Structure 1
Amino acid sequence: MITFKKVSKTYPNGVKGLQNINLTINEGEFVSIIGLSGAGKSTLLRAVNQLVPITTGDIQVNGRSITQANKKELRAIRREIGLISQQFNLVKRSTVQKNVLSGRLGYYSTFKSIFGLFTKEDYERTVEALASVGLSDKLQTRSDELSGGQQQRVLIARALVQQAPIILADEPVASLDPVTTQKVMDDLRRINQEMAKTILINLHSIPLAREYSSRIIALKEGTVVFDGLPEALTDERLEKIYGKSIFEETAGNVSEN
């Protein structure tokens, strides 16, 4: 479904965000991307929908090059890709309903988008999507009145209304408490398993990656240093990815608790 072919990204300051990435993300996978801060996780994720343009190589989504797409083609491809980020990216003064409906904007003309001329079917999709993430009672609530976890679930509902077969999640639980984190991750896993959505998610938490993923990809300095099943991510491999400090931090957390 998503193919990276010799993909590299060099930023204007000379920093190499990605170096010769060759990957295939298959339909229906739940793939976690892990690695140190600055390893290239967000660059890789956001390159999929061209929020971060790559320097060389090609990225294809369902056999279509998003790298070489013109504006019309890019708009069509992006309809198939939902995005959830830790910044929430909601219009805070708008209702939950309006924020979720915005997932349909890629299907409308500029005129209809400006005036919010959505169909009855889209309003029904919004109700169904909010019910699927447990927010049926928040339909007319202003988004800035929601908790962080609720805002993340609104973003999940927006991706569902968008009817995107691919969901990119960029550190979606980084600012959430453990209980809320589990709820959001459970929602993503259920959507992956019951709706066959392909999930590509950046995570700092190794335990979460191991628990929820069908596959883990680790980056270090913009290169892939691990790609395999969660059970194959041994302590030895983790040390090569993060260094010995990861075990020292884990031990410290245990002693503090």
Structure 2
Amino acid sequence: MITFEHVSKTYGNGVKGLDQVDLTIGDGEFVAVIGLSGAGKSTFLRAINRLHDITEGDIRINGVSVTGAGKKQLRVIRRHIGMISQTFNLVKRSTVQKNVLSGRLGYYPTWKSILGIFSKEDYRLASEALEKVGLLDKLHSRSDELSGGQQQRVSIARTLVQQADIILADEPVASLDPVTTRKILEDLRQINRNMNKTVIINIHSVELAKEFAGRILGFQGGRVIFDGTPEELTAGELKRIYGRDIGKEKEGAGDEA
């Protein structure tokens, strides 16, 4: 369970990234976050694993404060939070296997992390994770030999090896074609449903958000101005979030978010 209590984030230039956010995300939810560029979506996502420090309020995961956590405690908290980004964040010259195994680094002391020492169990987990995303045959391939969609599936496998309870996905399909986009979102939905992982995704496409998520958060100016089901996200609510009639999107296309 993730809880935001009166959370605000003000950047050095005075811009409000988050403004008095109060909400709870339960275990096993699939939440899509939508809104215009600069609305606070990425700040919201990155505040959960404290990649962005907040300036007011408290964020807790299962009752433990992320905001007040010391360095060692934060390291333990981050073990259970996987991050998927638009740019994949893979070591391109390393093999798929090594990139997936990097999800285990948070469980080892620094010296083992530097030397890349992993257990037989870690290697087994890596193979199982790649099988789940349909890439076991790429185990020993270099990551830069893969397509964009395959690289994103490697980053998903990395979160599975990490054994993260929470998966944060920051525009993970923004640079992918429509067919690959649907494959990535299907993978995330299956992980959510079959493994009860909490998935929170920032996404351009309103139509895809409505199709895949069970809950949608609409941000504007750092505030959550919509929090409801896909069915409750009416044309009127979309106009309120985006400030205009966005119309019906073509499948796979996105609004500026």
TM-score above 0.5, yes or no: yes
Tell me by how many angstroms 1:245 deviates: 4.5
Task: Output the CA distance in 2 between the equivalents of 1:118 and 1:87.
Answer: 26
Q: Does 1:218 align with 2:218?
A: yes
Task: Output the CA distance in 1 between the equivalents of 2:136 and 2:79.
Answer: 24
User: Contact 2:238–2:245 (CA<8 Å) still a contact in 1?
Assistant: no
Task: Output the CA distance in 2 between the equivalents of 1:71 and 1:243.
Answer: 41
Aligned 1:113-192 pairs, distance under 5 A: 113-192=113-192
User: Contact 2:235–2:245 (CA<8 Å) still a contact in 1?
Assistant: no
Match of 1:2 in 2: 2
Q: Which amino acid aligns with 2:234?
A: T
Give TM-score, length-normalised by structure 1. Answer: 0.96
Tell me by how many angstroms 1:204 deviates: 1.0
Tell me by how many angstroms 1:111 deviates: 1.2
1:74-104 Cα offsets, whole Å, 9 max, x none, are 0000001000000110111110000000000
- The percentage of counterpart residues that share the same residue type is 67
Please tell me the root mean square deviation across aligned C-alpha atoms, in Å. Answer: 1.2
Task: Output the CA distance in 2 between the equivalents of 1:193 and 1:202.
Answer: 19
Tell me by how many angstroms 1:11 deviates: 0.4
Give the gaps of 5 or more residues in structure 2.
none
Tell me by how many angstroms 1:243 deviates: 2.2
Give TM-score, length-normalised by structure 2. Answer: 0.96
User: Contact 2:5–2:57 (CA<8 Å) still a contact in 1?
Assistant: yes
Match of 2:72 in 1: 72
1:145-181 Cα offsets, whole Å, 9 max, x none, are 1111011100100000000010000000000000000
Match of 1:82 in 2: 82
1:114-166 Cα offsets, whole Å, 9 max, x none, are 11110000000000000000001110111111111011100100000000010
Task: Output the CA distance in 2 between the equivalents of 1:230 and 1:193.
Answer: 17
Q: Which amino acid aligns with 1:118?
A: F
- Secondary structure at the aligned position of 1:17 is classed as strand
Tell me by how many angstroms 1:182 deviates: 0.3
Match of 1:246 in 2: 246
Q: Which amino acid aligns with 1:94?
A: S
Tell me by how many angstroms 1:249 deviates: 7.5
User: Contact 2:206–2:249 (CA<8 Å) still a contact in 1?
Assistant: no
Give the gaps of 5 or more residues in structure 1.
none
